[in-house]
A and B are shown apart, each in its own frame.
Chain A
Amino acid sequence: MYGNAYVENTGNQNSLTAGEDPVKLAEFEARIAAGEKIEPQDWMPKEYRRQLIRMIEQHAHSEIIGSLPEGTWITRAPGFRRKLALMAKVQDEVGHAQLLYSACETLGKSREDMINDLINGKSKYSNIFNYPAVTWADSAVIAWLVDAGAIINQLTNSKGSYGPYCRALDRICAEESFHLKYGHDNVVFLATGTPKQRQMVQEALHRWWPPLMHFFGPSDKISQHTETLMKWKVKMASNDDMRQQFLDMYVPKIWDLGLTVPDPNLKKNESTGKWEYTEPDWEEFKRVINGDGPCNKERLAVRRMAEEKGRWVRNAILKKDAQYVAPLA
């Protein structure tokens, strides 16, 4: 659910290619199969465009809203060095949103429309950011593990077929390694500190575990729809595969610090090589993503306020005769 293609329950599962010119469609699919990238001026199926707009836009919103829970701790970060590092990370995340908005605009949706759909609640963003960063340790867990999840998602998507999105993701991934190291450093510092610091980070980890298990979204339904999105390289891996990858890379690191996660059933099945876990509470996931989470209202209200209070600045330097042209690539 970060930059994730997901299947809508429109009822019409086979309609992704309905009404498309079969010759152009075949050429388009052959080009993708040969590993070529699709550029904004190229012919593309309507559904390819629509699915990408939704996915990239949602990813952009996730970056911008995602900087809010961490931003909570900028003024109270312990020590000047951590304050500077956190500010740099938050700036990176806002920059990621800018890159992604531009990539999405090449598909024909203006940035104004995307911002409006965000503050009206029409577009979604990653559900995990509807939870609060209660302590400094929460911000450490976010920077380490939420960013770890984001990196898995972004590296996967960067192998996709749409040129502008892939290029934005390459830039983004290059910056993420700092976030991950910074987050890990903060978690390790607390986990190897005083009993009180250890307790803080342990409690934060317990708070963030359920939303982390939700992060990649529910298991994908196997449908013709999903198959088409995979063939078009819009969707690059199943949600479960990405979740497995996350568990495989990070659970051993968590356990290594002597920390625990709140799932007694979590273990690696050595014969299948897969992680087993308690099925996450998808009812809660649905409830929160549809608006009823601890911070949904605050996140959108803060975003709306930023647009509202920044308007006079934008207006003061607006060129009256300026004409909008979508970014090139």
Chain B
Amino acid sequence: MIIKSLDPRITRAGIDDESKDGIQQPMDQWHTYEVFQQKKRGTHHVHVGSLHAPDAELAVLFAKEQYARRGQCVNLWVVKTSDVFTTEYEDEDIFATTPEKKYREPEVYKVMDRIQAYKAKQNT
């Protein structure tokens, strides 16, 4: 049966409600891109999400609509998801700062203590 709607545009479209068309084939929605947004010049690009697009140029267009419709944005990057190489959460421990690497932290360098001790000794 042809759909009769409150919306004149839908009635005019003459849609058959028994139609079985419209079924998606694999890749009908294209592949995925990851989107990075820079809010202000001078700040980092930050991952904001992903989207589907057939190529990078359209991915930028869709990213603008999807992620930069409001608020600040001065620049966008898109990267094919398949090109992103990631670490595994399982290996999270590789990032742990171990106690023996304290020499990399600024607060372990206590020059003032030494200077004060030296001055105290001079004055006696």
Contact = CB atoms under 8 A, between A and B. Distances in A.
A42 B13 CA distance: 46
A133 B24 CA distance: 29
A82 interface: no
A302 B10 contact: yes
A81 interface: no
Contacts of A29: none
A134 B5 CA distance: 10
Contacts of A318: 27-28, 30, 54
A112 B24 contact: yes
A284 B55 CA distance: 46
B119 interface: no
Contact of A168 (B21, B49, B55): B49
Contacts of A95: 65-66, 69
Contact of A305 (B15, B29, B49): B15
Given A71-B7, A167-B49, A297-B3, A112 B55 contact: no
Interface residues of A, number: 52
Nearest to B4: A298
B50 A305 contact: no
B46 to A, nearest CB: 12
B82 interface: yes
Nearest to B84: A328
Contacts of A327: 32, 34, 49-50, 81
Contacts of A303: 22
A112 B29 contact: yes
Interface residues of B, number: 46
Given A171-B49, A318-B27, A119 B22 contact: yes
A132 B6 CA distance: 8
A112 B28 contact: yes
**A interface secondary structure, majority:** helix
B100 interface: no
Interface string A34-52: 0000010110000000000
Interface string B23-61: 111111111101000000000000111111011001000
A324 interface: yes
A42 B15 contact: no
Interface in B7-24: 7-10, 13, 15-17, 19, 21-24
Given A41-B86, A329-B47, 12 more contacts: A41-B90, A113-B24, A298-B5, A298-B17, A301-B3, A301-B15, A301-B17, A304-B22, A307-B23, A311-B22, A319-B31, A319-B54
Interface of B: 3, 5-10, 13, 15-17, 19, 21-32, 34, 47-52, 54-55, 58, 65-66, 69-70, 80-82, 84, 86, 88-90
16 contacts: A41-B89, A72-B7, A111-B29, A112-B24, A120-B23, A175-B70, A301-B19, A302-B15, A305-B15, A306-B22, A307-B21, A308-B22, A311-B22, A318-B30, A318-B54, A325-B81
Interface of A: 39, 41-42, 71-72, 75, 91-92, 95, 98-99, 102, 105, 110-113, 115-116, 119-120, 132-134, 167-168, 171, 175, 297-298, 300-308, 311, 314, 317-319, 322-329
